[in-house]
Structure 1
Amino acid sequence: MHSEQAAPDLLQKSLDASGVGWWQLDFGQREMTCSRLAADLFGADRTRISFEEVYLLPGKEHRARIYTRCAALKVSDSLDETFVTANGDRCLQVRAVAAANDPLTGVRSVFGTVRRVTEGTPENAELASINQSYKATQRNYSHLAQLIEHLPIGYLRVNILRDKSGEAVDYLLSYINQQAGRILGIHTQGHAGKTAREVGIDPLKHIPTFEHIPSCSFWEQTGKSPDGKRTCRFLIYNTPGDDELVILLEDITDATRSREQLDDFEHLFNLVSDFAHVGCVSYNPLTGEGYTKGPWAKNYGEAENTPASQILGHWRQVHPDDRQHLEEEFERLKTGEIRTFVNEVRIVSDQEPMRWIKIHLLCRDYRPEEGVIDLACVNYDISELKRTEEEELREAKKRAEESNKLKSAFLANMSHEIRTPLNAIVGFSELLADESRHETRREYTDIILRNNTLLLQIISDVLDLARIESGRTDIERTQFDARDLCREVADSLRLQRRPGVELRVEEGLPEFPVTEYRKGLAQVLNNFTRNALKFTEKGSVTIGFRRIPGHIRFYVRDTGIGIAPEDRERIFERFVKLDTFTQGTGLGLSICKSIAEQLGGSVGVDSVAGEGSCFRIDIPAGE
């Protein structure tokens, strides 16, 4: 035990005998503990010294360097410095020997030694200290050079070159970092040390600017890189006492392009906003802060520069019948109950007629506890849309009323049309049963057959229209000859023509293969032809076809009574009969129109009253 206690004392005596003192820095207590010899060497009157007092131990010219190196021991184990003490009578060398962190507290402690440098005079010690400072400066310069070389902005130094008369004629690129080389499009290694002319840059473009900058002053300019492809911001510093300038370059091409695109978009938005009467606002109801774009305030019937805080929640120009609901929804938005709502309101003002606007309000960010309720509001004038809707409603109502009238007339007409052939069939059937004369029985039979055919046609038209309108028609396209179709229609109706009326097929028709809905086309041509025969008392009814661009046109031309101009537009509508004394349902032409539309085509008529008509169906050209 005695031996263990004697060991530290022996070590201390050995250190003292060799002129070496020990010290320990405690970064937790911010103090230095040292041996008595070390305190004497430092010129201190005690062995526990605060960090503030440690700073004063070296001479003034060494304090900053020594204190910085000691502070670095928080993370470093390296310290080997020489300095002259504050009273200037001795030169000391301090070294760090070991460092450790307390396992419980984590506080760092550094242990080291101090000894007096006995070789030479204090002047030699001063030279040694200066040499150490120079090495430290070299290290710092190396770090700074690496930092400058890899800066994300361009850095270059130039020296103005003058002739014998002192006039600036060129400049030397003394240093160029990597980013400056990329921006200027030059090689940093190959061009450093060359003049502007040697690297292909016209110095006369820049020298007037360089000469204009006062010494120790900064000058900023935006311009293009030498190749004209990049937009750059230049910050130039004129160093004092010489012709050297330091230039910082920032490539702002992308930022400039983005700003230009943003400006273009804003300009476009303003054009659209003014044209479409669309306005928007960003507003915080907690702070009353916000900004508007476009005719937002004007849409509310307010002056253009009216703040959003004087409109939202007040709604002075909103119609009273619309205001209450708007206020309720706005309050729900502010309390976070809803995040968005859309409404249409009326704007009333003494200066202009009543208008309609549509409002979209959206809460983009709701953090009232942090003072944030970010509302976005868009409004736009829908007065024209409302007027159009009202006109369409009136027109729809009018059409519905007309349709109801037509349906009523149709039902009345159907009752009459069906009753007429039925009465004839029933009546003449009874007469036929009591008649014994052969000629009279034949006459009665013919009457019954004609009325039976008429009744079947009426029922067929009604069923065809119902089938087409319900979409249950199966369209089967087959290939056939258009000329043959015209001949078949003419042959099937030839017996229905009146005396003195010729039913014929257009002369000179060629063979023309068509792939289409044959049954539908035959029905259309049958309807056209029956109508033509019905209203033609003399002359002819002609069936034909011809090619027109992209389509095939089938037509039926007659020399009948014709159609008045005011009736041509509605003749293809349902239930329309121009001659109420003629038997029929008024559905035939409507069926033709529906079939044509199903085939992707259209129907039409050309007519002159008293001269005749030409009904047509145009369908897309098939194979």
Structure 2
Amino acid sequence: MDSRHQEPSSPTRQFDAAAAFEALPEAYLILNHRYEILLANARYLHLTGQSAVDLLGKSILDVNQFGSSEQREARRAWLTTALRELSTGESKWSPLFRYEMPGHAGAGGESETRLPRYWTIKASLLPARDGQASAIALRVSEVTERVSDYERDQRERAKLRSQAQLRRLLADEARAQLREQQERFQIAMTFSQLGAWELDPVTGAIDCTDQCKLNLGLGLNAELTAARLFDEIVHPEDRARLRDAMNQALAAHDHFEVDYRVGWANGSVRWILVRGVGRFLPDGTLSSIIGFTLDITSRKEAELEQREIAASEKRMREHSERLAMAMDHFVTTVSHELRSPLSAIMSWTDLLQRAADPSHLARATSVISRNARQLSHMVDDLLDSGAIVTGKLSVNLQPVDLGALAGIIAEDMRMHAEAKGLRLIADDLASATVLADEGRMKQVVWNLVSNAVKFSPQGTVELSVRADAECVEVAVRDTGLGLDRESMERIFERFQQFGADGSGRVAGLGLGLWLVKNLVDLHGGTVTAESPGPGQGATFRVRLPAYR
């Protein structure tokens, strides 16, 4: 992506209202609430033959004292009434005022001549902005030529009452009204920052206003085509969306409205809203596409911010709901897991108390001992879980031979694995030293091996330790139930248990692998899970920095 689509790095280009005011084709004055002149554009100064120094700061009632006293009084009376009664957004038009403007002195030194000129005044109350008081705009239009034309037309109409002359006069009036509407439209477009455009579907050329070019980040002399718009100006991620919206609307002979991003030359990214509609010939052929552009960057950024806040709140709610469900599941699991060994212990204890047969003693003590160890493991896991959550679990780091430690655990687990008909392989146990807490490392390897035995109905469980110059890896592979993709993503979460189908309940608290991950993290290592899929076994790898 080129630099035109990078994130904003400089202030947004501001609309130059002062320059637009100065360039208006009609004469304008801006007054404050005391009717004092604040601004006068170039057209007004040219019309009255005055300079800004002659006008600024003076009351509108005291300047331009041309003509007879009756003419001046009529103008003053209208201004006083109109300005006092103006309300926001309202405009008032004056009647036709006659001014006898000073002319040039005669060649013989005679007094200067007085030239009659006709003006109309339009007063508008502008809305207040940024806490400032409302201002008043006066548009002064000289209609001397129009009045002269009108009087001449009147004389000609009096002489010639033909229908053709009347039609010509009506056409002139219509054109005058059209010019007035066009002027109002141009002023409205300038102050609203709307850009207008028209696209020729045959040549791809786009004829657009200056404001449209400013919205797109182009210079006023830049040429715009459909190819440049879609290939350079519109953000790459928004081009297909804009094309599709336009094509669908044109196919349905309907209008379209799309917002998209453009990159300005200063590196900022702006949001543009475009509205358009196709113009068609009687035979249905598309003749042109016309529309408007509007810079909506501020609105869009606020909309995206609100959308992100809503998405964040949704994620937080979902996370809270998952925690609540996990806690409910945990309470249910703990209740069930504690009840089973306790029931066995209580049953065999009752049996020993009621029966004096010595043959029951060995079996009873074996069952009681096994279930007591199971309870002890669960209590240890719960205590470790609480210590990890509160940040109180610590490790005593010392050099530990992982190969020797894994061999001891393999021998301890071998009888349990063989009782299930599994083959426990521990032939590849390299001697490798890491800096670790020996008790916690035993807990990590024991949980991984016991987990493999638990989820392997048949086949093998393989335990290996390998090392290189930088890392020591403990791997536990089994040929058991395996894991699907969803289970792989959540396997190390607390209170998570996955059965053969990835969702069924199995024995245990769902803390084993979570404890493994947290203990490995405390040692500066990593743990990962791999599985080709359900029914194809799984491999867990623990990697720790080698001790030097």
Compute the TM-score of the two structures, normalised by the length of structure 1.
0.40
Structure with the bigger RCO (C-alpha within 8 Å, sep 6+) is 2
Greater CA radius of gyration, 1 or 2? 1
Q: Which has the higher strand share?
A: 1
Compute the TM-score of the two structures, normalised by the length of structure 2.
0.45
